[in-house]
Chain A
Amino acid sequence: MYPTTYHKPETLETAVAMLQGSEEGKIIAGGHTLLPTMKNHLAAPTDVVDIRGIAALHGISDDSGTLVIGATTTHAEVAGSAVVAAACPALACLAAGIGDPAVRHAGTIGGSLANNDPAADYPAAVLALGATIVTNQREIAADEFFDGMFATTLEESEIITAVRFPACEAAGYSKFPNPASRYAMVGVFVAKTNGGVRVAVTGAGEDGVFRHDGLEAALSASFSPEAVDGVPVSPDGLLTDLHGDATYRANLVKVMAKRAVLASA
C-alpha cells in the first residue's frame, strides 16, 4: 500500500480535527474493508484515523427498550451479546454469519454501515428495523442513510458513533452466502414493527440495500411464508454478475424472504 500516517485519537473532537487537518484522511476501525482496498491501491489516504481508541464509541446497551450499539463494536461482540439476544435475536444471528470468526473479531458495525457494501449484512437489518444512525453531528433515519452502492448520506468528517435499534415484535434474517466470500448473494431481513412489516433486501440491488413494497404489503397482511408466494419480485434493477444473474437473484429474494419469516423470533 502507499505510505500513510496512522493516528489513534482518544476523543471524537481530536478525530474530527485530524480528519479535517489531513489532505485525504480516512476513518479506520476494524479495517477489513479499508486495508484490502489500500493494498489494492484503490484507496490511498494520506492519513488513517483509528477511532477504536475512543471509548465512548464502543459497547452495547439497552436504553429503555431501544438497543444501542456503539460504532466500533465488533460483529463477534454483537453475536455474543446477551443484551442483543434478548432484544433482537435476528440481529445477533446476522452478526454471527458475517465473514468468518477472525473477521468477526475485527469488523465493526459502524464500518459496515459507513462502507455500505451492496452485499453487506448490516444494512439490511438497519433498514428493516428502522434503526437510527447516530453521528457526531446528527441522527439519521435508516431510510435517509443509504444512498446507492458504497454511498451514504454521511458528510465529510462525519463519524458514526452508534446505531439505535427500536424494539420490534419479531424479526428474522436469512441470507444465501457466496460460498467463497460469505457476502450475501441475497439476504433478506424481515421485521414486524409498530408501523407494519418492513422487508429489506441486501446483496441483490444494483443500488445497494432496498425495501420491497410488495413483500411488505403481503407480510403485513399475513406474516407467514405462504404470503410470499403470490408476490411478484421483478429482476429489474437487480445485480447480474459472475455469481448469478438478476432473474436468479429475484427468485432468491423470495426464497430468503420465506426463510427469514420462518426464522423470525
Chain B
Amino acid sequence: MANVKLTVNGRAVSRDVPDTTLLSEFLRETLRLTGTHVGCDTSQCGACVVHVNGKAMKSCTVLAAAISGGEVTTVEGLANGSLHPMQTAFNDNHGLQCGFCTPGMIMTGVDMVNRYKAAGRELTEEAIRHELEGNICRCTGYHNIVKSIQDAAAKM
C-alpha cells in the first residue's frame, strides 16, 4: 500500500491505496470525485484530463503514488463561487453533445489558454484544433468546443 497525500481542489487529502492505483481511480473511487471521466483508459481520449501541479495530464496514465505531495485540480475545482469562464463558455456556446468528454475538454481548454497567455502567443482557431488532438469527442461536436475555448480565451 502507498500513502498518497495530495491537495485536491485546494483540500488536503491523505489515503492508503494500492501502489497500482491510477490517479483517475484515486479521484473517482477513493475520493468519489466522479467529474473526471474515464473513456478509453489508454491515454488517447483525454476524458480523464486533470491538472497536476498546474499541468494538464491524463489521469488514467499517472500513478497516484507518483504525484504524492502534489496538487491536483479536477473539473469540480474550477468553479470558485461562480462558474469558471471556460465552463460558462461551454454552456453559452453549447460546447457539448452527450457531455462525456466535456470535463477533459474543459481542463485541456484551461491548460492551453494558460500556456498561450503565459507565452504571449495568440491562441488561434487553428492552434486550438491542434491543441485538442489528445481529446476525442465521439459525438464529433468539435466546432462548438473550439468556439467555446475561443470565447473563454477572450475572457480569461
Contacts and interface: CB of A to CB of B under 8 A. Distances in A.
Interface string B1-26: 01000000000000000111010000
A105 B57 contact: yes
A201 to B, nearest CB: 23
Nearest to B56: A102
A31 B133 contact: no
Contact of B112 (A1, A101, A180): A101
Interface string B34-54: 000000011110100100100
Name which of A2, A39, A105 has the most chain B CB atoms within 10 A of its CB: A105
Contacts of B108: 101-102
B19 A4 contact: yes
Contacts of A50: 66
B65 A106 contact: no
B63 interface: yes
A225 interface: no
B57 A36 contact: no
Contacts of B43: 32, 35-36, 102-103
B19 A105 contact: no
Contacts, number: 76
A141 to B, nearest CB: 32
B63 A105 contact: no
Interface string B93-130: 00000000000000010011001000100000000000
Nearest to B136: A180
A52 B58 contact: no
B62 interface: yes
B55 interface: yes
A230 interface: no
Interface in A1-41: 1-6, 8, 28, 31-32, 35-36, 38-39
Contacts of A31: 61-63, 66
Contacts of B112: 101
B19 A5 contact: yes
A99 B19 contact: no
A6 B26 CA distance: 15
Contacts of B41: 39
Name which of A1, A36, A103 has the most chain B CB atoms within 10 A of its CB: A103
Interface of B: 2, 18-20, 22, 41-44, 46, 49, 52, 55-58, 61-63, 65-66, 108, 111-112, 115, 119, 131, 133-135
Given A1-B20, A31-B61, A100-B134, 19 more contacts: A4-B20, A6-B2, A6-B20, A31-B63, A32-B43, A35-B22, A35-B63, A99-B134, A100-B135, A101-B56, A101-B111, A102-B49, A102-B108, A103-B43, A103-B134, A105-B55, A105-B56, A105-B57, A181-B44
19 contacts: A6-B2, A6-B20, A8-B65, A8-B66, A28-B66, A31-B61, A31-B62, A31-B63, A32-B61, A38-B20, A48-B63, A101-B56, A101-B115, A102-B43, A102-B111, A105-B52, A105-B55, A105-B56, A106-B57
Of all A-B residue pairs in the complex, the 10 with the closest CB atoms, nearest first, are A100-B134, A6-B19, A105-B55, A6-B65, A102-B56, A100-B133, A102-B58, A1-B20, A35-B61, A102-B134
